[in-house]
Amino acid sequence: MLVPPQEVRPGLPAGIEVHPRCARCAKSKCCRQISVQVDTPTAREDFQNLLWFVAHRGVAIFADEGDWFVSIETSCGFLEDNGLCGIYEFRPPICSDYSAEECDRDDDTQYELLFESYEELYAYVLVRFPAFPAPTRELLPRAYEHPGGAADVRWLRRSSGIPRGVARA
């Protein structure tokens, strides 16, 4: 059952109805995050790539029902200040096909695994691969002690074998 626009948010164009779950989501969460499924990591090299992803601000890794995802916090360029879509009537199919029934962004969904920092994923990796590269282990605390730790993070990438240009769009 859809909700009439006047009961949801002011500013919605006339004639647009919104799913009740969307009506409760005042932050337009689905328009502020991209989650991309990745291959389930099985080898050390797979985790090196995931560590590279999660070393970036606004990036998390999660697993749910056996599937792994990279999640990136970023707002859609068409999202307006009021939290509404500026091109709603002409939005891409990926947006119009998105199922509000399956949306997990309006609650405190618990994933099987959630890694919001390099440290969290690294601790998980060490359990699976105790012999993970030592330079990474020694550098980790230093790399995040200060805002200018970029040089340390670059060194970490070279030492851990993460190739340049991985997953660049």
State the pTM of this model: 0.66
Residue pLDDT, tens place only, 7-31: 555 666 677 676 766 766 667 778 8
Residue 16 lies in a domain: no
Do both 153 and 108 map to the same domain? no
Do both 70 and 145 map to the same domain? no
Based on the structure, what is the number of domains in the chain? 2
Residue pLDDT, tens place only, 83-136: 788 888 888 998 888 877 767 655 566 789 999 998 899 889 988 888 777 544
Partners of 68 in beta bridges: 38, 63
| Contact indicator for 142, 149 with CB cutoff of 8 Å | yes
SS3 61: strand
Q: Give the domain range for residue 141.
A: 133-163
Residue 25 lies in a domain: no
Do both 35 and 116 map to the same domain? yes
